[in-house]
Chain A
Amino acid sequence: LAKTTQPISMDSYEGQEVNITCSHNNIATNDYITWYQQFPSQGPRFIIQGYKTKVTNEVASLFIPADRKSSTLSLPRVSLSDTAVYYCLVGGMDSSYKLIFGSGTRLLVRP
C-alpha cells in the first residue's frame, strides 16, 4: 500500500492561499489521490480526489505532477474556519481499499 508523507503542521493567515504537499512515492497505477479535512470532534470529510494533472472543485484544487509521486492540495483564500487537519490518502476503488490515514497536516489559520 502506498504510504503518504505530509508536513505535520502549517500556519497561515486569513485570505492567503495555502498549499499542502503530500509525497506518495510508491503510488500504484490504479491508485487515486484523495484529500480529507477533519475538524475537532467531527469525522473526516472528503474534499477532493484526483488521478493526474489538475482537479478543481468549489473548495480546493489538487495538483498532481506527471510522475504522480506527490500531490498538492491548494486552498484559495483561507478563512479561520479552514483551521483543521488535512489528510492525504492514496488507494484504488476495489473493495479491499483500506482508506489508510497518515498523521495529516494540522493547518492553523490566524486572523
Chain B
Amino acid sequence: DTAVSQTPKYLVTQMGNDKSIKCEQNLGHDTMYWYKQDSKKFLKIMFSYNNKELIINETVPNRFSPKSPDKAHLNLHINSLELGDSAVYFCASSQQGQGAQSTEAFFGQGTRLTVV
C-alpha cells in the first residue's frame, strides 16, 4: 500500500501546454510538499501545505499552481510549460506542526516531466 503516490510517473509534453501532476498520501499527515529535482540532481522545495493551507512558496513562477482539495491531496498544475520545466517532481508528506514526533518525510516515486 503506497504511502505517497504520484501520477503520472512519466510525462512528455510540448512547450506551451498545460499539465497536472497528482499526489495523494494515505499516512494522515498534515503537511505536504512539492520538490523539483533538476538535471544536476539538486532537490529544491517549491511549495509546502499544512492542512490545506499554503505555508511555503519558494518564489516559484506563477505558472505553477498547487491545489490541495483536502489534506491528503496536493496536486500541481503547470501552465504554459517551458523547456526549463523539465525535471523530476517529487511530492512528499510529513507530520509537522503541533504534536509532531519526527521530522521524517515520505516521498513519492517522482514524476519525470520532459518538455519538448
The chain A residues found within 8 Å of chain B, CB to CB, are 32, 34, 38, 41-46, 49, 85, 87, 89, 91-101, 103-104
A-B pairs under 8 A by CB, number: 71
Interface residues of B in 26-43 (CB under 8 A from A): 30-31, 33, 35, 41-43
Which chain A residues border B31 with CB–CB below 8 Å?
95, 97
* Residue B92 lies at the interface, judged by CB distance under 8 Å to chain A: yes
> Is B45 an interface residue when CB atoms closer than 8 A count as contact?
yes
Q: How large is the interface on B (under 10, 10 to 19, 20 to 34, 35 or more residues)?
A: 20 to 34
User: What's the Cα separation between A38 and B105 when bound, in Å?
Assistant: 13
User: Does B114 sit at the interface, judged by CB under 8 A?
Assistant: no
Interface-facing stretch out of B12-20, B59-67, B78-86, B96-104: B96-104
Q: Smallest CB–CB gap between A9 and chain B, Å? A: 12
